[in-house]
Chain A
């Protein structure tokens, strides 16, 4: 919303030493966010009225003319111009050198210099409306035309700021910060806030005395729950003419286009008071009766642009005896326009139910200046301000007009909220003692009525704040705090109670796992969206029957919410393959499955939601990355201090390779899997030339240890004897069988490598193991060592068919 400071100052005398910037700052801190402060005077500097005295042909250019222009200075100046509507004696707008214009109405403003155009000197330029921000005053100007001030009382040299009443500053207020304050959707509301902020008096809006003997205009409100008040005034002597320049100017400054005097008056009243109103051509209201009622099903309303809309029974319409004329509080129809032949009007000023306006507006995707105000909830008393202002303006602008009939129907007037607030409440919650005088001064200037008795303030909330805004004592406290400015309260330190330390093992475990994977194992953490592209879900063969879906997904293929992290990871891998061919990623986040889960109260049944962990290692050598990933998982429990995990092949995950997969077991339950991604899944994702080792674990099933799990063992007094052995075994023999065979005979046993190839017979593999031996008590002699090694070989031969590989 744009606010003219000039209009504000009509209702409140601001301290004279205030800068406009300071006003904007104080409003921002205490009331609404001012996004921009625009100084109109500086925008129009060096732009003046000129009178064309003489027009000459340009010797070098057909389309350009040389104009001798009186700009109120000692001598007339020469300006070259290409306007198609130049004539001698024309009053035009001249930008003198130094002025800023927007070339052809586009782009950033450019500073004008005295220059030569095709060899002829030009002192500035004669402007089109779009070049000097005046389009709103001259909406019908053709592209090649310059501004013709015909019919406007002006003189050469007159500053445009003066002519168009532009010596003003406009504050642009963020509409979001107004959404809960229906009282601020007009200048008067902002003026009231400023009067409270600076503790200066607020002036009343001028009143109008209605002749009580006037005959009643016929208005019938059928649905009194939707229309709370309706004033109808029939006025004669109103015709189509422009409004005075000061009014047009105000409207332009706050972003409204001037139309004609009567429409401008209704808009001006809305800009001042926040109260919308509407004028019908008197003769268009058939039967001289206005009916406010719900539309009939499929009833049609003809609009100004010759289209029609089909209404529902929930839409409130303003009708004459027969048909709807307009959509209440939102927009007019074709029937109610002011036309050249108009001689009288019916002025409507009404109060409608906020929810009705909002719903109808939404139904027809209509958001108008009127509807956004009604939607917020306006008090019925606002109409008094509005009608007074409107009738005064009509009398001023149409001196010959005459009120013929008048009616004020008010089925439901807004009641003041009443709240009790204790001094103690204010003082503790605000953190400091606020004096009675200050409380009263602030609240009174905001329109409250306040009385203090025995430590309790009885507060009567003004009607304009009683439509949902101020309901609780906390709201009253909020008003006091903000007007004093939040910054004026000394920050109070937060005290820490040392009753118990924060100990959240699961939270800590999650962090340890993330840090382990990234900092120790070299994985990069990613976040993916919870909605997953179906293509990857199908590639990973994830069962979608358990998945939950979005009603309005970001895109049609993104309706399924993840029940597994695998598809999202596949997508991430595929995107990164364009730039990298070996990398490690992980993601630890929630997945969702149909189910019954009530975290907070029994009435709320949510889908199952649990933390999962997925990770991948991408590389060329499938076996290598498989073992690397296995190492990451095998060491995770020890490094992250959680209960041990076991690894067994029990059940193949759908996405995994036919051979290379393993399940992750905790407390004898499968909680996840590690595997190479299957050839088929990779093909479905169009992933080529690399392999992926991937794991997914129900990480919420990890069991954190209470403390670090390291174990201390006394250092051996004697050195360990280390021996490497390479043995030939059948392909089918597993490492775990070897371990099982000789584990009890050695102190330590370590896998070094597996080898196949030259010198290794088909169907066999060479396994190199490192054995560490320790004799309790004494150092081993070489005989003892050899004896032990040959025992080990014997056992390996017997249990695993292993033969020592000759080098």
Chain B
């Protein structure tokens, strides 16, 4: 009988081993442990055995039952863990479901990136309205009376005001700088603020020139600060935009509302400063003008230039976005062409 049981065990373990799906395992369980199982038959045929043998065979049978049971639990776990919720194969190369599209305009994205950087430095965000006057766009900013930018071939004057003067001659603002005086008149000094926005110039358009474009300007006004702090602001911006430290240089530049004024060049990212077509073979690209606020501008803002000083920087947002992505036509920003806009997530 012991031999028989051994055989049943062998056979049973083999059967369990062969099982490959869960439903089959249930059948095998019935077969091995059910009322009609071979072990049951053996136990039933034990009546004529001695008590000791009964005990012995009984224990052996129970052991085998336990072994079967354990093995089947093991098998069951094994089968469940290798089971898939899917029936049949899945093609992983089929694209997943698209997420809800939609995006900010690349200019807005850039603006917000810069806002974040400046907010961390304690700057306020200010915006001047699009329509300004000659007084705020030119007179306050120390532009000479006969400066060419005051002509209608440069600036968009409003109908009916084009022949007037000063605060009565209205225009779409040609630059953001006029807003600096508005802010200072309202808030006084010290001040640190950015004033991004769109500006308008009467120009012939092409891939590099636009009639409406975006600028980002920042101004700090305080006592006893030196113009070289402007450099820190510039590095902050470029690091924010390009994600790493960018080499810059400051060179002489002239703007009516600054003294001294400077141009800030960044190392050409295309050639790494060696010189290429993009940077006109000199390794540097002009990115932003800046400078120390001119005493006449402070005066227009009601501030004493002996007490206060400060500096501007101004960034062409269009240019910066173009450099960030290699966009080759500035007119795309106002095209509202989704084929373009959709590229900027």
B231 cross-chain contacts in A, Cβ below 8 A = 489, 491
B162 near A: Cβ within 8 Å?
yes
Q: In the complex, what distance in Å separates the CA atom of A497 from the CA atom of B123? A: 11
A478 near B: Cβ within 8 Å?
yes
B254: which of A179, A430, A530, A600 is its contact (CB, 8 Å)? A179
Interface contact A482-B260, CB-CB below 8 Å: yes
B43 cross-chain contacts in A, Cβ below 8 A = none
A29 cross-chain contacts in B, Cβ below 8 A = 249-252
A604: which of B135, B200, B202, B336 is its contact (CB, 8 Å)? B135
A437 near B: Cβ within 8 Å?
no
A755 cross-chain contacts in B, Cβ below 8 A = none
Chain B residue nearest to A430 in the complex (CB): B226
B243 cross-chain contacts in A, Cβ below 8 A = none
Q: In the complex, what distance in Å separates the CA atom of A525 from the CA atom of B131? A: 23
Q: How many residues of A are counted as interface, with CB atoms below 8 angstroms from the partner's CB atoms?
A: 91
Encode contact with B along A777-798: 1 for CB under 8 Å, 0 otherwise. 0000000000000000000000
Interface contact B232-A494, CB-CB below 8 Å: yes
B157 near A: Cβ within 8 Å?
yes
Interface contact B125-A504, CB-CB below 8 Å: yes
Interface contact A431-B226, CB-CB below 8 Å: yes
Interface contact B103-A355, CB-CB below 8 Å: no
Write the nearest CB–CB distance from A119 to chain B, whole angstroms: 41
B177 near A: Cβ within 8 Å?
no
B254 cross-chain contacts in A, Cβ below 8 A = 177, 179-181
Interface contact B104-A428, CB-CB below 8 Å: no
A89 near B: Cβ within 8 Å?
no
A668 near B: Cβ within 8 Å?
no
The answer to whether residues A502 and B124 also contact, given A472-B259, A529-B334, A575-B337 and a CB cut-off of 8 A, is: yes
Q: Which one of A267-275, A291-299, A549-557, A757-765 is at the B interface?
A: A549-557
Interface contact B259-A474, CB-CB below 8 Å: yes
A493 near B: Cβ within 8 Å?
yes
A304 near B: Cβ within 8 Å?
no
Interface contact B202-A552, CB-CB below 8 Å: yes
- The residues in B between 184 and 213 inclusive whose CB is less than 8 angstroms from any CB of A are 185-186, 192, 198, 200, 202, 211-212
B146 near A: Cβ within 8 Å?
yes
Q: Count contacts between A and B, CB distance < 8 Å.
A: 238
Interface contact B336-A599, CB-CB below 8 Å: no
Q: In the complex, what distance in Å separates the CA atom of A604 from the CA atom of B138? A: 13
Q: In the complex, what distance in Å separates the CA atom of A522 from the CA atom of B345? A: 11
B225 cross-chain contacts in A, Cβ below 8 A = 492
Encode contact with A along B219-233: 1 for CB under 8 Å, 0 otherwise. 010001111110111
B21 near A: Cβ within 8 Å?
no
B100 near A: Cβ within 8 Å?
yes
Q: Which one of B4-12, B66-74, B79-87, B105-113 is at the A interface?
A: B105-113
The answer to whether residues A525 and B259 also contact, given A35-B280, A504-B124 and a CB cut-off of 8 A, is: no
| The 6 residue pairs across chains A and B that have the minimum distance between CB atoms | A431-B226, A478-B260, A486-B250, A491-B231, A522-B102, A572-B336
Which of A's residues lie within 8 Å of B, judged by CB?
Answer: 28-33, 35-36, 177, 179-181, 355, 358-359, 428-432, 468, 472, 474-475, 477-479, 481-482, 486-487, 489-494, 496-497, 501-502, 504, 507, 511, 514-515, 517-530, 548-554, 559, 561, 571-572, 575-576, 579-580, 583-585, 589-590, 592, 597, 599-601, 603-607, 609
Which of B's residues lie within 8 Å of A, judged by CB?
Answer: 100-105, 107-108, 112, 115, 119, 121-125, 128-133, 135-136, 144, 146, 152-153, 156-162, 166-168, 170, 172, 181-182, 185-186, 192, 198, 200, 202, 211-212, 220, 224-229, 231-233, 235, 249-254, 259-263, 280, 292, 294-295, 305, 309, 333-339, 341-342
Q: A493-B229, A525-B103, A606-B132 are in contact. List 16 more A-B contacts (CB 8 A).
A: A29-B250, A31-B252, A177-B252, A430-B228, A474-B305, A486-B251, A489-B227, A493-B232, A514-B108, A518-B102, A527-B334, A575-B335, A590-B130, A600-B186, A603-B166, A607-B158
